[in-house]
Amino acid sequence: MQEKMWIHNVVALLVLLQLCQNAVLSTSSTFCPPLCQCFSVTTVICSDPLLKAMPANIPSQATALIVIASGLSRITIQEQLGNLTKLVFLKNPVDNVSHEAFKSLKSLEELEISGSHFLVLEAGTFNKLDKLTKLLLNNNKIKLLAPSIFDSLEKLEMLQLRGNMLTNLHRDIFHKLYNLEELNLSSNKLPTIHMSKLSKLKKLDLGLNKIKDLALDTFTGNPQLEILSLMGNQITQISPGIFSQLKNLKELNLRDNDILALSAGLFPSNLKILVLRGNSLVELSYAAFTGLHNLTHLDLSQNLLSSLPAELFHNLSSLEHLDLSENTLQELASTVFRGLLQISVIDLQKNNLTSLEADLFKDQERMTRLNLARNRLENLPYGVFEPLDFECLLQLHGNPWLCDCDLMYLHDWLFFNNNTVVDLSQVHCTNPQPLRGMSLTTLNKEQLVCVNRSISETRNSINQTTSTDSDRQCSLQEANGIIVVKCKLMKCTDLKLDVTFHQSDGRNLNYTLTELWPESDQCFNGTVILTVFP
């Protein structure tokens, strides 16, 4: 994936070079070296596989030099380029950088060497770069860094070492980076991390290493840290108090680890984004997120949660986005979302929910998206969607809907709100068998009947009624989820059948079925069949 991103970036820059070629100043040929493009006397971009050495005759006024996808294997900088503030080597076959490579660049503020192969940096390489604020060394397959290699970079604010092959870092390697605000060590092979006194550090990315354990004092020297990523490691537990010094932490990414449990009070109170996707959480304490009044995004997807404490989210008064998808949730307490007045997105797809409480979304008037797809819902309680805004996007597909009288509420709700349901054509009946595969929007309300409800009472009622009627004899039969009333008529007459269903919520459903005697038929004794439950 990273390789593709590099290729994409290189191609984009090459296209930019081609597009801008015609816009080069007419005098550029007098100062621009071969195989390079000079868009002004201050910006030079060189990109050609034939370029095997640093180009000569680069204008001394140049402040930015960018070398992309060339054949350059060694970096040497002309002494007259002391005005450079930006120097970039991207996707070149550079394999070694000497300690004298940048000695003349005393004004350099930004340096990038990325996309090389098995790059070796000699000790002292950056010793003369006193003004450097950004250093990017990504995707170079660096295996080893000298303990003192960054000691002279006291003004450095951003350091990226993403996508290398580092297996170990000296515990004091960053100890003189007093102004460092962003550190990215993701996609290496570091088993443990020792952080030094980086008091101004704001963003730390340790994702995609092989970290298993974090010492309790790992982040004690980073009080200004705002963004921390530990994604894609092998962390199984987090010690209580490990984040206690991070009073300014706003975003914490713990995705794709193997975390088994969360202790109460683990996360700092200023946290706004917490990602726990793809861990091994089986259950959560009701106090797991206590005190997180500023949290706006919480991702608990792809865990092993089968139930949630009713009070779990009650303190999250600022929560806007909640992702519970791809767990094994079987039920939700009616009060689990109570108090989430700012929530706009709740994702519950790919769980094992079989039912929902009628007042589950009582406080969610600001909801813009609700995902209930791919659960085991057969019906929904009356009024469950009433608190939601009529523009809330809803996903319901992938559930085994039982199209009987208990689905009457959803049928009516879809009639008025079908434009808010995503993939509505995929919302169809699984049962009963005669209705399987039918879209809920194409069903007639009269087809939503409860086959197995009070059959014996209905049969008795029919028998009692017809036993005193000499004009007809009726019987009730049930097979394959269908109830059929057969009446043998002793004279020519129309037949009318009134059916009343008494539901558990106290409401009655009334149906009237009529079979008219065809005027074109001759009058003789026969049998009329009324299919009560099509």
Instruction: Indicate whether 186 belongs to any domain.
Output: no
How many helices (H) and strands (E) in the chain? Answer: 3, 27
Other Cβ atoms less than 10 A from the Cβ of 519: the count is: 5
How many angstroms separate the CA atoms of 267 and 241, rounded? Answer: 8
Which pLDDT band holds residue 41 (cuts at 50, 70, 90)? confident
The predicted structure's pLDDT at residue 217 = 85
Q: Is 19 a residue whose pLDDT tops 50?
A: no
The DSSP 8-state label assigned to residue 124 in this structure reads T
87-94, Cβ contacts within 8 angstroms, sequence gap of 24 or more: 87/111, 87/112, 88/64, 88/112, 89/113, 89/114, 89/116, 90/9, 90/10, 90/13, 90/66, 90/114, 90/115, 91/6, 91/10, 91/115, 92/67, 92/68, 92/116, 93/117, 94/119
pLDDT, residue 488, reads 60
Structural domain contains residue 126:
yes
Instruction: Write down which residue in 119, 150, 180 finishes a domain.
Output: 180
Which residues are bridge partners to 474 per DSSP? 487
Asked if 404 contacts 449 with a C-beta cutoff of 8 angstroms, the reply is yes
412 phi, psi to nearest 5 deg: -65, -40
Tokens of 300: 């608990």
CA distance 252 to 273: 6
Q: Are 471 and 494 in contact (CB under 8 A)?
A: no
Give mean pLDDT, residues 295-318: 97
> Could you please report the per-residue DSSP string of 331-400?
---TTTTTT-TT--EEE--SS------TTTTTT-TT--EEE--SS------TTTTTTS-TT-EEE-TTS-
Q: Which is higher by pLDDT, 265 or 498?
A: 265
Pairing of β 508-515 and β 495-502? antiparallel
- How many whole angstroms separate alpha carbon 253 and alpha carbon 241? 17
pLDDT at 218: 86
**Domain-embedded: residue 110:** yes
Count of structural domains, the chain: 2
- Is residue 441 over pLDDT 90? no
Pair of tokens at residue 160? 């990226």
Residue 465: the pLDDT is 40
pLDDT given for residue 26 in this prediction: 39
Structure tokens at 205: 């990315």
3-state secondary structure of 463: helix
Q: Write the pLDDT tens digit of every residue in 387-418.
A: 988 788 999 999 999 999 899 999 999 988 88
Task: Residue 151: give the domain boundaries.
Answer: 33-180
Angstrom distance (rounded) from CA 515 to CA 497:
9
Q: What is the pLDDT of residue 23?
A: 41
**CA 531 to CA 136: how far, in whole Å?**
76
Q: For the chain, what is the mean pLDDT? A: 84
Residue 3 burial (CB < 10 Å; 0-12/13-18/19+)? exposed
Output the pLDDT for position 215: 84
DSSP letter at 506 equals S
Q: In this structure, what CATH number is given to the domain that contains residue 132?
A: 3.80.10.10
Question: What's the whole-number mean pLDDT along residues 95-120?
Answer: 93
- Among 95-109, 159-173, 316-330, name the most confident range: 316-330
Taking only the tens place, the pLDDT of each residue in 270-298 is 999 999 999 999 999 999 999 999 999 99
Going by the DSSP 8-state scheme, the letter that residue 176 receives in this structure is: T
C-alpha 410/C-alpha 429 separation (Å) is 12
The structure's pTM equals 0.77
Confidence band of 454 (pLDDT split at 50, 70, 90): very low
What is the spatial distance between Cα 241 and Cα 524, in angstroms, rounded to a whole number?
A: 90
Among 360, 324, 315, smallest CA distance to 342 is for 315
Residues 280 and 273: their CA atoms lie apart, in Å, by 19
* Lowest-pLDDT choice from 261-265, 386-390, 482-486, 496-500: 482-486
* Residue 95, pLDDT above cutoff 60: yes
Identify the pLDDT of residue 466: 40
pLDDT of residue 452: 54
Helix boundaries (H) for 452-491: 455-466
Residues 470, 431: Cα–Cα separation, whole Å? 38
Exposure of 59 in the CB half-sphere (CA atoms within 13 A) = 21
pLDDT for 43 equals 94
433 vs 488, residue with greater confidence: 433
Task: Look at residues 180, 207, 232 and tell me which one is the last residue of a structural domain.
Answer: 180
Report whether pLDDT(51) > 60. Answer: yes
Once rounded to an integer, what is the mean pLDDT over residues 457-467?
42
Q: What is the pLDDT of residue 455?
A: 46
131 has pLDDT over 50: yes
Q: Distance (Å, rounded) from C-alpha 459 to C-alpha 529?
A: 15
Rounded to an integer, the average pLDDT of 107-118 is: 95
pLDDT at 289: 96
Tell whether the torsion through CA atoms of 280, 283, 287 and 292 is positive or negative. Answer: positive
Tell whether the model's pLDDT for residue 59 goes beyond 80. Answer: yes
Residue 478 has pLDDT above 50, yes or no: yes
Q: Is the pLDDT of residue 4 over 60?
A: no
Nearest to 98 by CA among 123, 80, 81: 123
Has residue 140 been placed in a domain? yes
How crowded is residue 268: how many other Cβ atoms within 10 Å of its Cβ?
19
The one-letter amino acid at 66: I
The C-alpha atoms of residue 30 and residue 27 are separated, in whole angstroms, by 6
- Per-residue pLDDT of 199-246, as tens digits, reads 899 999 999 999 888 888 888 888 899 999 999 999 999 999 999 989
The residue assigned the tokens 């043998």 is 488
Among 153, 180, 207, residue at a domain's last position? 180
Kindly state the average pLDDT of the residues 101-113. 95
First to last CA, the chain: 54
